Structure 1
Amino acid sequence: MEDYGLVSIIMPNWNCSNFIGHTIESVLAQTYQNWELLIQDDCSNDNSEEIIKSYLNECSRIKYARNKNNSGAAVTRNNALRRAKGHWIAFLDSDDLWLPEKLENQLKFMVKNGYNFTYTGYQEINNDGCETGVHVVGPKHVKKFGMYAFCWCGCLTVMYNCKYYGLLQIVDIKKNNDYAMWLNLCQKSDCYLLDECLGKYRRGRSGSISTDGFHTLIRWHYKLWHEAMGFNPMLSFFWTSVNLVCGFYKKIRYVEKH
C-alpha cells in the first residue's frame, strides 16, 4: 500500500466511556496505518481515562492529553491540533466510528485529484450502535458560498491537507465550532465529496445540535455568524435563514433511508 504521509486524527473526549473503546478500535482497524491518534480529554469525570490508557501500551501511535480545565469542544480540538505532526488532519469524535477503508480511500481520492479539503458520506447509528438505515451525503463540489449556505460536512468525515493550510484553530463557540472551521477552510480551497459511506455517526447524543429544538437551533446558527464570523446582525440573520432552508433541502436531496 502506498504511503501518503502521516494522518493526525483529532479526537476530543468528554465522558464518552460507553463508546470511546469502540471508537479507538475503529481507528486501529484502518487499512491505512500511518496515523497518530491525538485524544484530548476535556476533564471527564467518568472512567474514560482508564479506558484510553488501556490502549496506550497497545499502540504507541495513540497519544493522550488532558485539558487543565473543562473548556468545551472548540478549545479541546484546538489543543489537539497544536499537538498534530501529520501531513493530513482528520476528525473523529469519541462516540463515532470509521469503516476500515476510511483513511485509505479518502487519501487516494485526495492525492489522485490534488484536493486539499474533502469529506465523505456516512450512516447514522443510535446510542446502542445499531444502524438506523439513514445514509447522508452532500454536494460533490462545495465552493465558499456553498459552504456558507449549509454545513454539508459531517465532522467525522472531514480531512484536510495540513501542509497546505498550516495550523488552524477553531473559534471558541459552544456549538457549530466545527462548521466555523469548514468556513475557514473554504476561504482558501473548495471542498469535494468522496461519495462513499465511510463513517458511522451516533445520532441523538445528549448536547448535540441534532437534539436541540428549533428556536435553540436558530440561536446557535446566529451566534456562529455573528460571533465567530463577525458578521453584522442583518447578515448574520440572512445566513442563519439560508442555513435553515438548506437544512430542509439536504433532508430531501441528500438523506436516504433504507
Structure 2
Amino acid sequence: MPVVSVLMTSYNRERYIGAAIESVLNSTYPDFELIITDDRSSDTTVSIAKQFAEKDHRIRVHINEKNLGDYGNRNKVASLATGKYLKYVDADDLIYPWGLELMVGMMEQFPDAGWGLCSLNQDKARPFPFELQPDSAYEYHYLGPGLFNKAPLSAIIRKSAFDEVGGFENIRMAGDFNMWHKLARKHPVVLMPHGLVWYREHDSQEMNDYHRYLQVYQGIIRKYLVENDCPLSPEKIQKALVRLRSSYKREMLRGIATLNKTRALENFRLYRQL
C-alpha cells in the first residue's frame, strides 16, 4: 500500500485537471496513489483523466453513479484510498513537486498527530513544523492568528483519524471548516508553512459567494465553541466570544460607513446571535 493517497475530486474541470494531475506526478515523493472521482462531468474531464491513467499505474479514475456534491465526493474518494495519509489536491489546484515529500515528512515527525495544515503565516514564537494539542489548536484559531479557515488543499489527514470522525459533513461551503473543528477536538494537528501547494482562483469557484454563507459558519462556531464540549476553558471561551463579537461590530460599522446595507445587517445579525 502507498504511504499517501492523493485524492482529486472533479466536476467539469477540463480546463485545469491536466495541470493538476501533472503537478502530482511531478512529486519528488514517489510512494503515492492518485485517485480521481468524477461527479458526472458533462465535459471532457473524465477522458483527460483516463489518458493519464493509461500511462501511469498509480492513477485510478472512478465515475460516480450519481452526482454527490462537493463533500459527498470528498468522502467517496477517501473511501477508495489505501494510504496511511490522505492528501486532497482539487482538480483546479496544484501541489509543488516538493509538497508531498515535505508534508509527509513533517507528519512523520509527530506520530500522535491526526492531521496537518499548511499555508500558514509564520508563527512569531517558533518555526514550523510544530504540533498543537486540541485546546491549543482551538486557542490558536479563536484567540490567535487563525487556523480552521483553510481549504482541503492545505490539509493532510491520517486516514484512521478521518474515518474516526466520520469524514466531511454535507454542509454547503463550510464542510471543511466544520471538519477541522471535529478533527481538532480529538487529534493533535501539525502546523506547516507556505510554499507547499498552490490554490487557483477563478470565476467559477463557489468561494466567490462566501458572504452568502456567513450564517452557516456562525452555526458551526456556536456548535463547537458554545454548545458542545469545547476543549477551551470557560474563561478562554468567553474571551473568544468577546473577540468574535468585536470583529462583527467592526464589520457592521464598516458597512454603515460605506453605505453597504447588506454588510451592516449581516454582521449585526451575527453579533446578536453569538
TM-score band w.r.t. shorter chain: 0.7 to 0.9
Q: Where does 1:230-249 land on structure 2 (aligned, <5 Å)? A: 242=244, 245=247
More strand by share: 1
Check 1:7–1:205 CA distance in 2 against 1; reply closer, same or farther (3 A cut). Answer: farther
Q: Deviations over 1:5-54 (max 9, x none)?
A: 52011211111110000000000000001111111111111110110111
More helix by share: 2
Normalization by structure 1: what TM-score? 0.74
- Structure-1 separation of matches of 2:11 and 2:183: 26
1:162 is the counterpart of 2:159 = yes
Contact 2:28 2:100 in 1 (8 A): yes
- Structure-2 separation of matches of 1:89 and 1:9: 6
Which AA in structure 2 matches 1:161?
R
Contact 1:147 1:182 in 2 (8 A): no
Question: Which one of the candidate residues 87, 99, 116 is aligned to 1:118?
Answer: 116
Check 1:172–1:213 CA distance in 2 against 1; reply closer, same or farther (3 A cut). Answer: closer
Contact 2:9 2:91 in 1 (8 A): yes
Normalization by structure 2: what TM-score? 0.70
Gaps of 5+ in 2: 124-129, 228-239, 251-274
- How many matched pairs? 222
Equivalence for 1:189? 187
User: Share of identical aligned residues, percent?
Assistant: 24
Question: Which one of the candidate residues 216, 219, 227 is aligned to 2:215?
Answer: 219
Equivalence for 1:145? 138
Check 1:68–1:107 CA distance in 2 against 1; reply closer, same or farther (3 A cut). Answer: same
Question: Which one of the candidate residues 28, 31, 34 is aligned to 1:34?
Answer: 31
- Structure-2 separation of matches of 1:9 and 1:79: 13
Q: Deviations over 1:153-195 (max 9, x none)?
A: 3321211222455454210122111222211211112322222
Tell me the C-alpha RMSD between the 2 structures.
3.1
- Structure-2 separation of matches of 1:243 and 1:180: 20
Equivalence for 2:17? 20
Q: Where does 1:27-106 land on structure 2 (aligned, <5 Å)? A: 27-106=24-103
Alpha-carbon shift at residue 146 of structure 1 (Å): 3.7
Check 1:181–1:164 CA distance in 2 against 1; reply closer, same or farther (3 A cut). Answer: closer
Stretch deviating more after TM superposition (31-40 or 183-192): 183-192
